[in-house]
């Protein structure tokens, strides 16, 4: 009769409660599916704004009015055509949508891989570069960096359209952005302390 190594984990020894608790991770699956639907909404919003921008470029006043209202742009004179400020605000809005979509991809793919189940993408030509070493700590740092990028876009849009915002709004948006920045630095520093990078080995023996 073969001898069983006591150091090997026994699957048959796990009790029903342990299996139930471990299987509870699948409760997160509907959350990630919902984020996929949210990604679809962002794609639709991106193309809708882009179509309005193209129509406004060809002189469609109705599309221009929709764009001006969506970006919160106000002017003393009626806006009868695209100007540099309107184009810049619309393009920044499109970039904002793309960056939020990238954030959703990181949460969906990285979160599912880390907390629910393996995706088994090893060797796949389209595997994201960051996925082969993703864990909870790496995911936190990447999400914090993505949030800083999104906050930067929002802050830039506010400064471009600063005449339509009060000084209080400008101040608080700047303070919130700086808070995001320091939070990301703190997360990255804590991750570096908890998971130090091993020192590179020295070269071979001297000649």
For residue 151, CA distances in Å to 76, 113, 173, 179 come to 28, 26, 9, 10
The token duo for 31 is 């959350």
pLDDT at residue 199 is higher than 80: no
Nearest Cα neighbor of 60 from 84, 88, 85, 79 is 79
For residue 113, CA distances in Å to 2, 61, 88, 187 come to 36, 47, 37, 21
pLDDT (tens digit per residue) in 163-188: 878 888 889 989 999 998 898 888 88
Q: Where are the domains of the chain?
A: 24-119+130-194
Per-residue confidence band for 36, with pLDDT thresholds at 50, 70 and 90: very high
pLDDT at residue 155 is higher than 90: no
pLDDT (tens digit per residue) in 37-88: 999 999 999 999 999 999 988 888 888 888 888 877 777 667 777 888 888 8
- The answer to whether 139 and 110 are in contact (CB under 8 A) is yes
């Amino acid at each position: 009769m073969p001898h069983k190594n006591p150091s090997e984990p026994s699957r048959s020894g796990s009790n029903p409660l342990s299996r139930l608790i471990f299987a509870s991770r699948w409760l997160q699956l509907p959350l990630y599916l919902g984020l996929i639907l949210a990604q679809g909404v962002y794609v639709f919003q991106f193309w809708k704004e882009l179509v309005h921008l193209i129509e406004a470029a060809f002189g469609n006043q109705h599309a221009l009015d929709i764009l001006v209202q969506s970006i919160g742009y106000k002017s003393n004179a009626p806006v009868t055509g695209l100007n540099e400020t309107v184009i810049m605000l619309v393009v920044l809005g499109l970039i904002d949508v793309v960056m939020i979509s990238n954030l959703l991809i990181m949460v969906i793919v990285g979160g599912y891989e880390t907390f629910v189940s393996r995706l088994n993408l090893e060797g796949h030509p389209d595997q994201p570069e960051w996925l082969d070493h993703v864990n909870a700590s790496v995911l936190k740092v990447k999400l914090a960096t993505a949030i800083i990028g999104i906050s930067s876009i929002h802050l830039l849009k506010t400064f471009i359209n600063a005449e339509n915002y009060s000084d209080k709004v400008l101040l608080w948006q700047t303070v919130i952005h700086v808070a995001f920045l320091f939070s990301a630095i703190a997360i990255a520093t804590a991750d570096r302390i908890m998971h130090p990078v091993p020192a590179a080995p020295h070269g071979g023996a001297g000649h």
